[in-house]
Structure 1
Amino acid sequence: MFKPSSYSWCCWCSVPSVKNRPSAVVHHLTYIPYNENKDELIPLNSVQNQGFGTENEPFIVYRNSQLIGKENKHLRFVCMSDTHNEIADVHIPNGDVFIHCGDAVNHRTSSRDIVRFNQFVGQLPHKYKLFVSGNHCVCLNPKQPDRSQKLLNNMIYLQDQLIDIEGVRIYGSPWRPKRGCFYRAEAFGYNPKHIREDKWSKIPQDIDILLTHGPPYSIRDYNVSTKEPLGCPDLLDEIVTRIRPRIHLFGHMHECRGASLYKSEDNRLLEGDEFQNQSNDILFVNLAVHQGKTLGEPTVIDYYY
């Protein structure tokens, strides 16, 4: 629906910014971003989502509304991102699938630290462990995903890859619009003019969960330094007009951690008339654990399918 021409550029450092783009309307479920003026959290619709994303009160998400009230298969997902060498200090609940959406390390020491991260994850009890790279993972060569998989041999490394886990289809992609030559932690930065055609358009439609490192535009992507949203508008367009996953997990923007619910009926400007009938909500979660001097908790999701 929208074109990459919505990007403008800072000529001296090649940093893209977004102009004249409609924002997604979301209902915040946990941790309202401080730049948004909300009096209270939106109550959850118990028909589609409930809980608070914690170990004792996980988010409960159904593949479709017809499964509610029936006995279904389900998997428990334990999800996190942006641990920056402090994963050992985080309480990680047990579950079926462990997910990390990037920036497990710091860019200056990433070659050493990624080995330690892999060793730590290997000790976790989860049956499946998935990893999507982040911009600090400069030791991982985008042109050699097989080599990255060998290095991260205690988990499944996803670089533009689809995986089926016991009937749940999950796609992972590490890319984000690149920010320019002054940023040292810039692994998997991609030309914003081509990121939709080259990367996002390759994401299949019939997936349950999407993993990326960076956020979509206007959803938990506020940048404190620039006072602007930093997410990718082309990623948002693909998600809401074509891919329609039940859950999108990401990180990158530390200050915007938390969960938000996207409803089609509130986003007609983005979607047109295509998805107004029987369209599932989308749960968006910014999983960034590192919060400066404190650490957040992983997000726990029970997915019924």
Structure 2
Amino acid sequence: MFKPSSYSWCCWCHVPRVQDHPTATVHHLTHVPENEEEKELLAFNLAQDLGAGTEDRPFIVYRNPHETNRAALKRLRFVCMSDTHNEIGKISIPDGDVFVHCGDAVKHRTSARDLRIFNEFVGQLPHKYKLFVSGNHCVCLNPQQPEQSQKILNNMTYLQDQSIDIEGVRIYGSPWRPKRGCFYRAEAFGYDAKRIREDKWSKIPEDIDLLLTHGPPYSIRDYNRSTGDQLGCPALLDEIVTRIRPRIHLFGHMHSCYGASLYKSEDNEILEGDHMKLNSNNILFINLAIHQGKTFNQPTIIDYFY
């Protein structure tokens, strides 16, 4: 489990580095992260069953894995993305029921102006529901005044440590990440790594279908190619796999790790410990980061049956 000793600290800029924390074993469904290419974890049979996250082959996820008769179930289609950094107008956005953006819609230097432009753009989309979780570039948003952020983003539902029920599907959104040092200017919603679990992640309810954050959990699509580190949050990983257990976790932040991975309890006995529940804790993790420099990834499509 997460403890302050999970981190070592780079003293000159106070950047946390994870040490001696169990990593998650996952099956990559799309886009194997570059730091894991040699592990050959791509599960072709799982990918065939779950889909590819495209408009033609959306990911298919059931609230109850044992109830898969689609004709007897309700469905919501989620159209999901993150890290568009002022380029959302260049992306083809399919129609669906719920538009999801997991943060960094703008760049930090011009966030106050561009977040309003982003809000206007999203207001023109046809989706009935629109959800937004802030990212580290949204430095114009005051974490102490979420009601003011909601006024700025009035064409969508702004989620800062909040739940929302959409036609019976329960979703929770939170923008926090372990904070870096003063060297980093795009540092909105950075939080003390020693306190983030108790103050933030422990407050996430257990009865949710989808979890939205900006940053990834530790060891799941969180690789930073410039430093060679995995920069996800150990406390978030522990809470997700031992207590919260959502069906889907959506995030972004680490641009080069775009793609989807499936977590299965049976592969993670060391990580889950006494909380292990075989065959009851499959979680679809998706890094939604769109912006790839001069190129763009596509939105991820999920059909959720419940």
Specify the TM-score bucket, using the shorter chain as the normaliser: over 0.9
Paired position in structure 1 for 2:183: 182
Structure ranking higher in helix proportion? 2
2:29 matched to 1:12?
A: no
1:250 to 1:156, Cα distance in 2 relative to 1, 3 A: same
Sequence identity of aligned pairs in percent?
A: 74
Paired position in structure 1 for 2:157: 156
The CA deviation at 1:119 is 0.2
Task: Please list the CA deviations of residues 99-153 of structure 1 after superposition, one character each: whole Å capped at 9, or x if unmatched.
Answer: 0000000000000000100000000000000000000000111000000000000
Tell whether the 8 Å contact from 1:177 to 1:232 is kept in structure 2 after alignment: yes
Q: Residues 1-305 of structure 1: matches in 2 within 5 Å?
A: 1-36=1-36, 37-39=38-40, 41-45=42-46, 49-70=49-70, 71-305=72-306
Tell whether the 8 Å contact from 1:118 to 1:154 is kept in structure 2 after alignment: yes
Number of corresponding residues: 304
Task: Please list the CA deviations of residues 271-293 of structure 1 after superposition, one character each: whole Å capped at 9, or x if unmatched.
Answer: 12433334131000000000111
Tell whether the 8 Å contact from 2:133 to 2:174 is kept in structure 1 after alignment: yes
Distance 1:116 1:211 in 2: 23
Distance 2:165 2:280 in 1: 23
Task: Please list the CA deviations of residues 200-235 of structure 1 after superposition, one character each: whole Å capped at 9, or x if unmatched.
Answer: 000000100000000000000001111010000000
Tell whether the 8 Å contact from 1:32 to 1:38 is kept in structure 2 after alignment: no
Which deviates more from structure 2 when the two are superposed, residues 166-175 or residues 66-75? 66-75
The CA deviation at 1:45 is 3.2
Tell whether the 8 Å contact from 1:261 to 1:281 is kept in structure 2 after alignment: yes
Stretches of structure 1 that go unaligned for 5 or more consecutive residues are none
**SS of corresponding position for 1:66:** coil
1:288 to 1:17, Cα distance in 2 relative to 1, 3 A: same
**SS of corresponding position for 2:100:** strand
Which deviates more from structure 2 when the two are superposed, residues 276-285 or residues 123-132? 276-285
Which deviates more from structure 2 when the two are superposed, residues 5-14 or residues 171-180? 5-14
Distance 2:259 2:242 in 1: 23
TM (norm. structure 1) is 0.97
TM (norm. structure 2) is 0.97
The CA deviation at 1:66 is 2.4
Distance 1:295 1:282 in 2: 26
Which aligned segments of 4 or more residues in structure 1 are displaced greater than 4 angstroms? none
Stretches of structure 2 that go unaligned for 5 or more consecutive residues are none
The CA deviation at 1:46 is 7.5
